[in-house]
Amino acid sequence: MKRLLLIGILIISAAVFAFGECSDADKKTLEAFDRAWGQAGVNGDRNALMNIYADDYMGLGAMTGKTQTIEDTMKAFEEEKANPQLAAPTTHDNYMIACTPNTATITHRNIVTVKTGTGGKEETFWTRSVHFLEKRAGKWQVVSNAGGGGLDDYAILAYIEQDWNNAIKNRDTDWMEKNFAADFSDVSSSTGRLMNKKQSIDDARSDKSVYDAVDTQNMNIRIDGNMAVVTGIFHLKGRDDKGQPVDRRLQFTDTYIRRDGRWQVWASQGTNVTK
């Protein structure tokens, strides 16, 4: 079940961490490199791509080398330039980066937005990329790429849980407005109060706590058709509105429903776990 997703993530994670930990500065440099690479493709910058790809680059899957990969990118650029309606804006997030002084692995999610149908309705799709880099003559170059694969429902739900954590930490109530179903319900882990979507978002908006860490452990995902249940341990650490330490663990159950072509949070409930 959910193991299909998490085993995949663990395999990628194991491969990443096998290279060793990067400093924050290293990670920022590599993320900037990755974003510049993506922008070079969007801009059709052949010269930049020639420097980004190593001469012995080999893309996994299609097994294409440097020349063919760049030609394919330029072809896509020219097609989108001639037909702007074909463009599919893509953003990248959820970076996992590790490196040694001369090798690096970059994993991230891709969010692709396309317009479908005669009405031009926007739809969002997710893929995951894994890039392998080496530092040659003092500069990073891409030596292989295993990206582009679409995410299955297990991966999508796991990412939604991670996005939700980030929304709580960053007080991003806009994310909650978008991803909570209209008939969402929430049982407060603090008071036991049953709240609807508006009440739950208002409660999050009024919370003055500052969280240093918001993460999920022992996540399990079950899917049956257009319904899904995610369970796990939710961890909050920081300070409350009075500056007092907060360190809570909740055993949670989140229920999802697929509506309008996407997963939405339908219900949530958490119970405090004593240490």
Look at residue 184 in the predicted model and tell me its pLDDT: 98
Check pLDDT > 70 for residue 64. yes
Mean pLDDT check: name the lowest of 4-13, 75-84, 261-270.
4-13
Check pLDDT > 70 for residue 18. no
Look at residue 20 in the predicted model and tell me its pLDDT: 52
Q: What is the mean pLDDT of the chain?
A: 88
Answer with the residue of higher pLDDT: 113 or 245.
Answer: 245
Look at residue 73 in the predicted model and tell me its pLDDT: 95
Answer with the residue of higher pLDDT: 40 or 124.
Answer: 40
Give the orientation angle of helix 66-82 with respect to helix 24-43, to 10 degrees: 60
Q: How confident is the model at residue 85 (pLDDT cuts 50, 70, 90)?
A: confident
Specify whether the backbone of 260 is left (phi greater than 0), alpha (psi in -120 to 50) or beta. left
Q: How confident is the model at residue 122 (pLDDT cuts 50, 70, 90)?
A: confident
- What phi and psi values does residue 72 have, to the nearest 5 degrees? -65, -40
For 46-54, what is the mean pLDDT? Answer: 97
Q: How confident is the model at residue 126 (pLDDT cuts 50, 70, 90)?
A: confident
Check pLDDT > 90 for residue 22. no
Look at residue 119 in the predicted model and tell me its pLDDT: 59
For residue range 8-17, what is the model confidence (pLDDT) as tens digits? Answer: 444 444 444 4
For 140-159, what is the mean pLDDT? Answer: 89
Look at residue 148 in the predicted model and tell me its pLDDT: 64
- The sheet with strand 180-187 has its strands ordered as 194-196, 180-187, 262-272, 245-259, 227-239, 210-224
Look at residue 10 in the predicted model and tell me its pLDDT: 40
Look at residue 63 in the predicted model and tell me its pLDDT: 86
- Classify residue 154 as exposed, middle or buried by CB count within 10 Å of its CB (0-12, 13-18, 19+): buried
Look at residue 117 in the predicted model and tell me its pLDDT: 58
For residue range 153-210, what is the model confidence (pLDDT) as tens digits? Answer: 999 999 999 999 999 999 999 999 999 999 999 998 888 899 999 999 999 999 899 9
Task: Return the closest-CA partner of residue 142 out of 132, 150, 128.
Answer: 132
For the chain, domains (ranges, CATH) are: 3-150 (3.10.450.50), 171-272 (3.10.450.50)
Task: Return the closest-CA partner of residue 263 out of 178, 169, 187, 150.
Answer: 178
Note whether 144 and 69 are within 8 A (CB).
Answer: no
Q: What percent of the chain has pLDDT over 70?
A: 88
Look at residue 72 in the predicted model and tell me its pLDDT: 94
Mean pLDDT check: name the lowest of 15-19, 103-107, 131-135, 150-154.
15-19
Note whether 176 and 154 are within 8 A (CB).
Answer: no
